[in-house]
Amino acid sequence: MPSFFKRRQITKQKMKQKKEEQTKQKIGDYGTTPLPSSLKEKIDFIKSETGNSFDVIIRKADLDEKLGIETAVVYIDGISNTQIINDFLIHSIIKNRELHRKQPNKDIFEIVREEVVALGDVKVLPNWKEVFQMLMAGETVVLIDGETRALGASTRGGEQRSIEEPGSQVTVRGPRDGFTESIGTNIALIRRRIQNPNLWVEVMKVGRVTKTDVSIMYINGIAKEEIVAEVRERLNRIEIDSILESGYIEELIEDESYTTFPTLYYTERPDMVAGNLLEGRVAILVNGTPFVLIAPTVFIQFFQSVEDYYGRAFLATSLRFLRVLIFFISIIAPASYIAGTTFHQEMIPTQLLIAIAAQRETVPFPAFIEALIMEVSFEILREAGVRMPRAVGSAISIVGALVIGQAAVQAGIVSPAMVIIVAITAIANFATPSFAVAISARIIRFLFMIAAATFGFYGIILGLVVLAIHLTSLRSFGVPYVTPLAPMIPKDLGDTVFRLPLWSLKTRPALISSEQSQTRVGGDQHPKPDSSKKMVPKKQKGEQE
């Protein structure tokens, strides 16, 4: 009997493996299957595998009419540049029909690759896997009758969104260009800012079905080799059908999934990516999305804006303090109101306490239920404003908040003080620079409300302690999440909650950048004006004007 069940188990495993192989064949994983020599067989196979799709264009052309050698140019309409194909491929093949007879001793495949295909990036495709990868990426495949190999020419094109100002990270001072959905355009935007041969880019395909182009970018010599290797290893470990946005990558490679705080930073500003690359971080670019991931990420990074480095240090420092204060207001403002009105009335000034008590006289609910009703209502309005068409979304959220707030106060469901607290909390949440941290604050706010309703201010203090412990336990690609505060690195504190002048930021982050390239500001760059404080001397007589 045991042998019977064992044989049955082995048979099930073989059937499972066979099904997996059939599934892989269906989704286009052809392995190293070679191409047939007949041009007709190759064209028929492409048509059958693409379901005779109307956008798969196949154009035949005679390479040598007397010898009967035919070629076929295959591309997908919409994602390929048809003008380049017509001018530099089809026209070139027709123009060089007699070239083979002039060089009878040379291989026809080499003649086409070196002299006929008038494009710079030409690849030899030995199997069907590479043929379909090139074809589905917008490249053009050249098939030759009698050859078991094909040629791939770089002809990516089609309609693309133009470079525009980022909508999610608007600044008063700074560049106005932002990333697009084209990974090639995004890499070019970064290279314009860092014109250095040590800016390395590695490309890989992720997704069994989508075959999405994913690139990692870093500056060799500045980025830590251990971090680059870890990013590369985590990306190569991904096995999934589709990658449609960088959020897929973020969720599959992050260090900790069970947390509301993001451990990867995303941005659509090329200048921000360039600044992080110069600090030793690694950028992950995904084709089809304007958002680029940055790793590793630290918590204080979400309160920094790229505009902080374009203005004076004292202004940037004051704004960063304000952003941190805004974050704490957004998570503990309703909880503080609940704790003060429920447990700790003696901590509220007498006149204010009398005013609040008079407002709450007709409210039938305790402060926690009152705050919960208003917070949930506001979250519903905010979500409705986001999902509605842009022309009416903002109007609905603003008018809805005013109408519901006024109606709730007149009906005696909530007090005017609670409406003010919820409004201040919402504005503080909108003012947070990073949308990812703002969402985290929206979730954590409810936990603090529960703690305040249970234990008062003691619950809020306990919640802050738990929050600090949780943050210090997080890692981003092995780097502590709250560095350089824990562990404390004094030389890196100059660019955290406050920002020192650029001439004093002499070193890169110690735990992120390579040990061989810690220095980024050489010598003494402190501005030294004339100590005499005199005006610019006038030109003497006889000097040239």
Residue-wise pLDDT tens digits, 181-203: 999 899 999 999 999 999 999 99
Question: pLDDT category, 5, cuts 50, 70, 90?
Answer: very low
Is residue 461 assigned to a domain?
yes
pLDDT of 293 over the 80 cut: yes
pTM for the whole thing? 0.84
In this predicted model, what pLDDT tens digit does every residue of 248-273 receive, in sequence order? Answer: 999 999 998 889 999 999 999 999 99
Name, of 70-74, 145-149, 227-231, the range with top average pLDDT.
Answer: 227-231
Query: Do 381 and 444 belong to one domain?
Result: yes
* pLDDT given at position 481: 95
In a domain, 488, yes or no: no
Say whether both 321 and 277 belong to one domain: no
Q: Would 412 be classed as within a structural domain?
A: yes
- Mean predicted confidence (pLDDT) in 492-517: 88
- Quick check: 223 and 281 in contact, CB under 8 A? yes
Residue 148 shares a structural domain with residue 198: no
In this structure, the answer to whether residues 94 and 223 fall within a common structural domain is: no
As for how many domains the chain has, the answer is 3
Residue 543 has pLDDT above 60, yes or no: no
CA distance 256 to 539: 67
Q: Are residues 110 and 143 in the same domain?
A: yes
Helix (H, G, I), strand (E, B) or coil at 62: strand
> Quick one: 355 and 437 in the same domain?
yes
pLDDT band at 85 (very low <50, low <70, confident <90, very high): confident
Task: Look at residue 216 and tell me whether its pLDDT is greater than 70.
Answer: yes
**What pLDDT was estimated at residue 30?**
61
Cis geometry, peptide bond prior to residue 484 (ω within 30 degrees of 0): yes
Tokens of 74: 């295959």
- Quick one: angle between helices 435-455 and 313-342, nearest 10? 30
Do residues 328 and 271 share a domain?
no
Please state the rounded mean pLDDT for residues 41-55: 90
Query: pLDDT averaged over the chain?
Result: 85
321 and 397 together in one domain:
yes
Q: Which of 473, 496, 516 is the last residue of a domain?
A: 473
Q: Containing H/E element for 375? A: helix 367-387
> Do residue 124 and residue 140 come from a single domain?
yes
Q: Are residues 104 and 237 in the same domain?
A: no
Q: Are 139 and 80 in contact (CB under 8 A)?
A: yes
Is the model's pLDDT at 532 over the cut of 90?
Answer: no
443: burial class by Cβ within 10 Å (0-12, 13-18, 19+)? Answer: exposed
Domain boundary among 134, 153, 172: 153
User: Residue 294: which of 169, 209, 175, 170 has the closest Cα?
Assistant: 169
Does residue 376 belong to any structural domain of this protein? yes
Q: Is the pLDDT of residue 230 over 70?
A: yes
User: In this model, does residue 305 exceed pLDDT 70?
Assistant: yes
Choosing from 420, 448, 473, the residue where a domain stops is 473
Chain centroid offset of residue 320 CA? 23
* 331 vs 441: CA distance, rounded Å: 6
Q: Specify whether 284 is located in the same domain as 388.
A: no
Share above pLDDT 90 across residues of the chain, in percent, rounded to a whole number? 41
Structural domain for 415, as ranges: 313-473
Closest CA to 342 of 447, 460, 457, 446: 457
Whether the per-residue pLDDT at 447 is higher than 50: the answer is: yes
Residues 6+ apart with CB under 8 A from 266: 246, 250, 291, 292, 293, 294, 436
- One-letter amino acid identity for 483? T
pLDDT at 22: 52
Tell me, yes or no, whether 138 lies in a domain: yes
Considering the domain architecture, whether residues 317 and 452 belong to the same structural domain is answered as yes
